[in-house]
Chains A and B, each alone.
Chain A
């Protein structure tokens, strides 16, 4: 197991290096007219050469690459082009918010999705099955931003209340914090819940037809035990795989819900940085999110052995 983990972590190295290269080479593709635009926006930077130096474009690419990677190893993400503050501490402050929303959304989405998937499979072709499947398809067809906007607007129109949009930290007011995080997390979880429900239903239907399920029932085991211990455990691997694929999607969706609900996470930071063409911030966020998604997928691969003891890593 340890050997397998080590092998996988080493296998990540080239991918991370490519990610860092893309982050560094990105600024080379900025067209001249955008550099001119930046000059107009930046009163503090006097000459074009100074801006080029600030972007690091005065040095050759290999030098920039090595110094960027070296900086990251010491936790230095460079400085913001606006105000010159270091990017690293700001990223560190905002990551927990985004990860919190993502984890909450995953938990809610996975519970709802798997639960209704199981119910739908057990009651195949019943009215409940059709209802659940229709809602799931609607959940897939409705984009995050539309759901988010409706959640903000409709209660305001119908009942004259709107969700609070003033962020408070966990330390200041835990209940207020949770109530603010909960709504965006719920909005974010809809797509996940819908696609997990569809997949759970499909795999459960397959598993429920297996001989060992009939055997378990014939032995006189109760419905609940058969469903959860025998069937769901065997249906869960593809569901876990899909969850891994959805992590990147969830983080991307977080950009949208954070900007609708005014939550100071990475997503909002990214959108602000993009509005200001603050390239060091954008680079930092892209690198962090990329590595985060890779680590989550690694953990999901490793979790297969826990869900299915027949899988052994060597």
Chain B
């Protein structure tokens, strides 16, 4: 139990420690209390590293054709090759880049409007709240995937349209949670006090409401990140994601993987395992973050 005692001291970090030391101490504590969550975080960091260095570490280029077509896993091609002789492992590595790019961009673009819509809706209330919430109701009544393909068939496909569609859906659905979180805070005495002191609406929202809903934002969008990656893969699977030949996991599963699924099942395993692993990691990390930041939300996922 010596380890436990030492970690306990790390957790009770004196406030005069430097920022970096405190951060490290916090991370150590998180890893000890939530090993699965920390494991999830490690997988996500590994994915980021793979995506960032895909050009250096992948054994072949993602678009390099070779004469060995549809070959099973071997020493040269660890996960085999596809119908053009492209290395599946290299394509999965580069596909990580697509998934991450779309995931990060869509999550960031969703977060800001979700906070603005949810916070103003709860803060101002009245007819504005009513109108906004009926719009949110409407969007929520549409299955995410159907909304996404509908937006894309209207706007046309392409990387940025996919990101726009994903972030639109994620922003509207998330804004409902932000509204709930804001309503919980906006009845607090200190908000009344700030108003009595003559603070402007913008100041109240930025200084008094926003800091209190940040934990909710982190929880919702750490889990949302996994959903976005999954949704992008589903879109690619239906043929409305990132256009080929850019490697993306959904696309590799859909068009290529399914046509050759009997001749070359490894073309399916590569992207499937990668996708399931990432979604699993994000969910573990999100659950752990939720338990740490907001115990009230425990078990809602």
Contacts and interface: CB of A to CB of B under 8 A. Distances in A.
Contacts of B261: 149, 152-153
A249 B240 CA distance: 18
Given A15-B134, A15-B137, A137-B280, A289 B272 contact: no
Contacts of A195: 301
A141 B238 contact: no
Contacts of B300: 199
A289 B154 contact: no
Chain A, interface SS category:
helix
Given A18-B138, A29-B155, A143-B279, A248 B234 contact: no
Contacts of B239: 275
B184 interface: no
A165 B258 CA distance: 15
Contacts of A29: 154-155
A143 to B, nearest CB: 5
Given A18-B134, A252-B146, A202 B299 contact: yes
Interface of A: 14-15, 18-19, 22, 26-27, 29-31, 33-34, 137-138, 140-146, 149-150, 152-153, 156-157, 195, 198-199, 202-203, 248-253, 255-256, 259, 270-271, 274-275, 277, 282, 285-286, 289-291, 293-294, 297
Interface band, chain B: 35 or more
A144 B137 CA distance: 25
Interface of B: 134-135, 137-138, 140-146, 149-150, 153-156, 230, 233-234, 237-240, 250, 253-254, 257-258, 261-262, 265, 268, 272, 275-277, 279-280, 283-284, 298-301
Nearest to A198: B301
A15 B146 contact: no
Contacts of B144: 248-249, 252
Nearest to A294: B141
Contacts of B283: 137, 140-141
A41 B257 CA distance: 28
A84 to B, nearest CB: 20
Given A143-B233, A256-B237, A34 B143 contact: no
A185 to B, nearest CB: 16
B138 A146 contact: no
Nearest to B146: A252
8 contacts: A33-B156, A142-B272, A143-B233, A149-B258, A202-B298, A203-B299, A252-B146, A255-B149
A309 to B, nearest CB: 25
A80 B156 CA distance: 20
